[in-house]
Amino acid sequence: MRRIVMLGGCLAMAAALSACGGDKKEENANANFSVKLNWLGSYKTGILDESAAEIPAYDAASQRLFVVNAEAGELDVLDMSDPAVPVKIGSINVSAIAAGAEVNSVAVQNGLVAIAVEADPKTDNGYVALYQAADLSLVNSIQVGAQPDMITFTPNGETVMTANEGEPSDDYSVDPEGSISLVDIRDLENLSVATADFAAFNAQADSLKASGVRIYGPNASVAQDLEPEYIAVSANSKTAWVTLQENNALAKVDVASATVTDILPLGEIDRSVEGFGIDASDDDEVINIRTWPGVVGQYQPDAIHAYQLAGKTLLVTANEGDARAWGEDNDLYWGEEADDEVDPPVLCEPDASQGFVEEFRVKHLVHASGFDRRCGDDLPPQLAALGEGALLDPTVFGYCGAVAGDPGDCREDDVLGRLNITWTVGYKTGGNGDPVMYTDAGVEDAAGTHIMYDKLYSYGGRSFSIWDEDGNQIFDSGDAIEQFLASDDCKLGTDRAIPCADYFNSGHDEGDAMDSRSDAKGPEPEGLTIGRIQGDTFLFLGLERMGGILVYNITDPREPEFEDYLNSRNTWDVDPEAGNLDGYGDLGPEGLVFISGEDSPTGEPLLVVGHEVSGSTAVYEVQISKE
């Protein structure tokens, strides 16, 4: 395998974590011990790439694990009395709650299992269903908002909260409002629900956009455009924070009044700054982590968790990134490919009302021939409505050859050409928000036909961040994760023998696919959980695409300490296929749950991870070593 490493930021993991705010164990230790993961075993459904193991939740009293099996539309119930050999002992099916309903998420507290239930169609209101962990009996259920995607208990056990994502239908004909439901469970026989919605922000669209909140869906109000993803709750159960992933923001919620009190923009990542670079191409056959002037990242976190420090709440996010893509399989949206060689000519006539796709490669966006060449293929009609083509600002992108009217080498595959960005923002606008127009030669002209980009917005931070209660960033890991995966210190497999760099930024459903995700969101930090061990706070962070779990001591939020990385995928050289998963290990970590030593069947802390691609639920021992 050809492997050339060109590291433009920190030169090794120790240097990367130190220079980017990381490993300073010797000079500023958080603890006199370290932790390391040891793979114990897994429960395997044997179902490939059908989300047969997503979100796990654990009940200590019954020693049962509850795992979302989206493929079956139910919860798998696993006996965890021997963590090395989890055994399926039952399931919970929610078909009695609503016809065609699906399980999206699960949480467990004090012997009560709470399930987020998505309706059919997903744009209808969903449900919260409550079951007893000990005997799997249904306790009660209640209707909540559209598409409850994540569910959690408040720490005081009085409320169950759901993040109701409210995604539109595939053709964008129905777009429900996003919301957060708060179910009062103090009287299980008489549940009540309150809704924290975003209606009060509908009149603030302009100010929200100006602050950096992405409001961009077609013909959507603010309430329709905001899509709650994941919830963290303060230790006193008074405040919750909800990731608005596509919107690159957090919602702050007052629990008692069920009110969204603020929407907090998370800002941009300047990819021209050392320590915040990316590998931008999947087609150059090398690891090339470097800075890119004019390119910015959007944090767009998925999972979020809260922890306490000196009486204050801190928030940790996994900055995965996500693009809106609705109607991408609808030929009516794209239009039929034009053909002027036939009589009468076939015209490309896309229908913008049939969907909305914002992701586009740089090489397809900026081209001397304009947009028409891609009509009927992958040209979003909403982009075509902005102009006949797009240019790069030569004052920003001159470093890769852009001149007036010509992007030069910037659109080459081994430069920025393969990078996926959003076309919805980054082009020059006037005071009224409309695009400034240019001739195809790059001259500003009100009668021009081209728009001009001076920023290219990519997806995801490829990092984790720590924030304060008001959304102010305390720490971001920058490019340290990608730098580590490229380093000689990183090893893959349960025996830690395979060089990570040989399969750098691989996809979770691919084999021998080094660099294949660099054009998108890199390793894609998606899921995380937090655990307390001997008074210190540890972060367990799952990398969706590359796979594996990173462990950090985050007791000092300004100087997180790297502890370990374990990737339990053992086979990397061929594509995984249904029927040959036994030798692969675990692919595509989704949800994580930490089990303290006090609650663990073994008396030692454990980590459980649901892997959506391999359909396996893996159990790891968290080993503690004195230093």
Mean pLDDT, rounded, of the chain: 93
CB 277 within 8 A of CB 9: yes
pLDDT in tens, 272-301: 999 999 999 999 989 999 999 999 999 999
Please report, in angstroms and rounded to a whole number, the separation of the first and last CA atoms in the chain: 38
The whole-number average pLDDT for the span 561-580 is: 94
Residue 353's pLDDT band (cuts 50, 70, 90): very high
Q: What is the pLDDT of residues 179-194, one digit of tens each?
A: 999 999 999 999 999 9
Spell out where 60-201 has E strands.
64-69, 74-79, 87-93, 102-109, 112-118, 125-132, 138-146, 148-153, 159-164, 179-184, 192-197
Q: What is the pLDDT of residue 332?
A: 92
Q: Does the pLDDT at position 4 exceed 90?
A: no
Fold adopted by 5-266+301-322+460-626:
Methylamine Dehydrogenase; Chain H (2.130.10)
Confidence (pLDDT) at 285: 86
pLDDT at 539: 98
pLDDT attached to residue 339: 66
- Taking the C-alpha atoms of residue 239 and residue 33, their distance in angstroms, rounded to an integer, is 33
d(CA 183, CA 339): 56
Distances in Å between the alpha carbon of 291 and those of 57, 188, 275, 296, 512? 40, 54, 8, 10, 26
Report the alpha-carbon distance of residue 531 to residue 15 in Å, rounded: 26
Q: How far is CA 86 from CA 197, 368, 536, 623, in A?
A: 40, 58, 28, 19
What is the 3-state secondary structure of 441-473? CCCECCCCCEEEECCEEEECCCEEEEECCCCCE
Q: 539 pairs with which residues across the strands? A: 530, 552
With the C-alpha atoms ordered 211, 216, 220, 225, is the resulting torsion angle positive or negative?
negative
The residue-averaged pLDDT of 512-522 equals 97
- 610 burial class (0-12, 13-18, 19+ CB within 10 angstroms)? buried
Q: Is the peptide bond before 121 cis (omega within 30 degrees of 0)?
A: yes
Instruction: Determine the average pLDDT of the residues in 565-576.
Output: 96
Q: Express each pLDDT in 75-99 by its tens digit.
A: 999 999 999 999 999 999 999 999 9
Q: Are 45 and 96 in contact (CB under 8 A)?
A: no
Residue 244: closest CA among 216, 270, 266: 266
Peptide bond into 56 cis (omega under 30): no
pLDDT over 70, % of the chain = 94
The mean pLDDT value for 452-457 works out to: 98
Mean pLDDT in residue range 29-37 = 83
Contact 354, 171 (CB under 8 A): yes
Which residues is 33 bridged to in the sheet?
A: 626
SS (HEC) of 187-224:
CCCCCEEEEEECHHHHHHHHHHHHHCCCCCCCCCCHHH
Domain positions in the chain are: 5-266+301-322+460-626, 330-457
Other CB atoms within a 10 A radius of the CB of residue 70 amount to 20
The C-alpha atoms of residue 116 and residue 107 are separated, in whole angstroms, by 9
Q: How confident is the model at residue 7 (pLDDT cuts 50, 70, 90)?
A: very low
| C-alpha R_g of the chain | 24
- What's residue 338's pLDDT? 65
pTM of the predicted protein model: 0.95
DSSP-derived secondary structure letter, 611: E
pLDDT of residue 107: 98
Contact present, 126 and 103 (Cβ < 8 Å): no
Half-sphere exposure of 156 (CA within 13 A, CB side): 14
pLDDT number for residue 21: 41
Residue 346 DSSP code: B
Q: In this predicted structure, what is the pLDDT of residue 540?
A: 99
Of 181, 33, 35, 183, the closest CA to residue 109 belongs to: 183
CA dihedral 134, 65, 304, 356 (to 10 degrees): -100
CA distance 620 to 599: 15
pLDDT digits (tens, 9 = 90+) for 481-503: 999 999 999 999 999 999 999 99
191 contacts 143 by C-beta, under 8 angstroms = no
Task: Give pLDDT tens digits for 376-427.
Answer: 999 999 999 999 999 999 999 999 999 999 999 999 999 999 999 999 999 9
Q: Which of 92-96, 169-173, 188-192, 554-558 is predicted with the least confidence, judged by mean pLDDT?
A: 169-173
Q: How confident is the model at residue 578 (pLDDT cuts 50, 70, 90)?
A: confident
pLDDT computed for residue 340 by the predictor: 63
Amino acid (1-letter code) at residue 462 = R
HEC profile of 485-517:
HHCCCCEECCCCCEEHHHHCCCCCCCCCCCCCC
pLDDT surpassing 50 at residue 28? no
Question: Does residue 9 carry a pLDDT above 60?
Answer: no
Range from 185-199, 330-344, 434-448 carrying the lowest mean pLDDT = 330-344
**Token digits of residue 564:** 């370990």
- pLDDT of 26 strictly over 50: no
Average pLDDT (131-138) is 98
The kind and range of the H/E element at 484 are helix 480-486
